[in-house]
Amino acid sequence: MDKDLQAIQQARDLVERAFEAQRAFADYSQDRIDSIVYGLARAGLREAEHLARMAVQETGYGNVEDKILKNRFGAETVYQGIKDLKTAGVIREDRVNGIIEIASPVGVIAAVIPSTNPTSTAIFKALIALKSRNSIVFSPHPAATQCVLETARILMEAARAAGAPDEIIQCMSVTTLEGTQELMKHRKTALILATGGLGLVRAAYSAGKPAYGVGPGNVPAYIESSANVPKAVSDVITGKCFDYGTLCCSEQAIVTDEAIREKVLEEVKSQGGYVLNETETAVLSKLVVTPNRSINTQIVGRAATVIAGMAGIKVPEKTRALVAPLKGVGRDFPLSMEKLSPILAFYVEKDWKAACNRCIELLNFGGLGHTLAIHSQNDEIIRQFGLYKPVSRIVVNTQSSLGAVGYTTKLFPSMTLGCGTMGGNISSDNISPLHLINVKRIAYARSAQSTSDDSAPTRGSVRSSQMAELAGQPVRFVCEEDVRSALVKGAKIYINPKTVITPSARDLANEKDVLVIVP
């Protein structure tokens, strides 16, 4: 059988099994769910190093030390962020307004896993899926199939040991585009969690299912004149080099003010950045970007020294990042795009307003809706960037790569970062279990607005029991709950011939003598 047909059949089989497992899982209590999620988190934490080594060995992307941290983030930090969330049964009760909110799971989640962050993304998606009482089926990138299969096996064993149904976590072993499409479009798939390239995200949104996909990141890091320059440069270089730049929220360009240009460059060089000359920039550009203007996957997630060697550029052994001064943004400046490697563009602008415009240019060239970093001590400039930048998250005085995911900030810890409608996404949030539930609401009858005549509202939405204290002011509507509330307060409800009264309210009110008729 052809591989694409095998993948299609496997997708169908796995969704069917996951569907049956989720039907049983949907009846679990919050306590049982929390116990299972805790078991998953412990397993992910325990196997963080093992899975990191597998991911690097199979994909060739990143480095083991940083992938361990990613796995720990996916297992430990995410768990701490979700453990107290209510996701089963009654999750909120508003007695004042008479509304009860009840969570229900969505069903089977199709989870597309990238090659750049395979094991950590799988751990994260499994945790938020099971926390919200859903089942999950992974579709790994072909370059990361084995490490994701191993992650799924470890998590499934932990889930089963904690009491979850068999096959609540599934993973495709035959990975093709056709199989992924079948998984996303299957009639029993309820929702898609897509992490990957732009083409994949677009496919997820066109699959006819609700989908959370994330757009590309082309993150500018602005170092403003008032910034603590040594710390700012340290944050940018550290963020850019984390796992060799494979996070979509890692910094892609330094933008700084002319007044501090030399100081910033001095810090870049002292902290392991190699500043390219024009010839080296041109050579590197041809290596990084293919003739069809896509990124060369051979440089993704590689060390700066390795990439320099591929380009024939001699750099010091301790070089951490390659820094390319550029004069513009767009196709004529290939290094102004997202690079998924320790390569930074470098721009110098007259002042913060010019820097603001440059950042917007960079975002328009492939990072709309994602993330921006600013290093500044000027709160007004920080606020201006927040007001006018087309991004969903702005991290301040910290590295972008770990700040955007919620590791060095108090943003919700997540490995899936929505880019909002600016980036063609349905959400601008850091995706959490609360995005994977349906919320139904029980709403009890309440009185309508008080009006002085048939058209003009006079007192807004005020309950009848409160209106009863307004001597002589008639209400428009009375229900049984209004009468009971008035009885508790020892109050009267004033009505006139136009007041609408429900039968149960009238019976109770007449019995207790609550209603007072006024002209």
Architecture of domain 3-214+433-441: 3-Layer(aba) Sandwich (3.40)
Output the average pLDDT for the chain: 92
- State in words which class domain 219-414 has: alpha beta
- This prediction's pTM: 0.85
Residue 467 is predicted with a pLDDT of: 43
pLDDT digits (tens, 9 = 90+) for 289-307: 998 888 999 999 999 999 9
For 150-218, give the secondary structure using H, E and C. HHHHHHHHHHHHCCCCCCCEEECCCCCHHHHHHHHHCCCEEEEEECCCHHHHHHHHCCCCCEEECCCCC
CA distance linking residue 346 with residue 324, whole number of Å: 6
Q: Residue 314 pLDDT > 70, yes or no?
A: yes
User: Residue 469's pLDDT is what?
Assistant: 43
Confidence of residue 504 (pLDDT cuts 50, 70, 90): confident
Tell me: pLDDT of 518 over 90: no
Q: What confidence score (pLDDT) does residue 455 get?
A: 39
What pLDDT does residue 405 have?
96
Tokens coding 46: 């325990």
pLDDT at 385 over 50: yes
Name the catalytic one among 147, 171, 241, 248: 248
Q: What is the pLDDT of residue 448?
A: 55
How many CB atoms are located within 10 Å of the residue 487 CB?
Answer: 15
Place of tokens 């002589």: 472
Residue 394, helix vs strand vs coil? strand
Percent of the chain's residues with pLDDT above 70:
95
Q: What is the pLDDT averaged over residues 45-74? A: 97
Rounded to an integer, what distance in angstroms lies between the CA atom of residue 121 and that of residue 11? 20
- pLDDT digits over 401-421, tens only? 999 999 999 999 999 999 999
∠ CA 373-75-434, rounded to 5°: 75
CA distance 509 to 519: 19
Tens-place pLDDT, residues 449-487: 444 444 333 333 344 444 444 446 788 888 888 888 888
What is the pLDDT at residue 462?
40
Question: 175 versus 199: which is more confidently predicted?
Answer: 175
Per-residue pLDDT band at 507 (split at 50, 70, 90): confident
The pLDDT assigned to 497 comes to 85
For 447-483, b/e burial (b = at least 16 CB within 10 A) is bbebeeeeeeeeeeebbbbbbbeeeebbbbbbbbbbb
- Type of residue found at 472: G
Q: Return the number of other C-beta atoms located less than 10 Å from residue 7's C-beta.
A: 24
Q: What is the spatial distance between Cα 257 and Cα 241, in angstroms, rounded to a whole number?
A: 23
Say what the pLDDT of residue 463 is: 46
Residue 171 appears among annotated catalytic residues: no
Segments making up each domain of the chain, as ranges: 3-214+433-441, 219-414, 445-517
CA distance 377 to 383: 11
pLDDT score at 447: 64
pLDDT at 199: 78
What is the average pLDDT across 249-260? 97
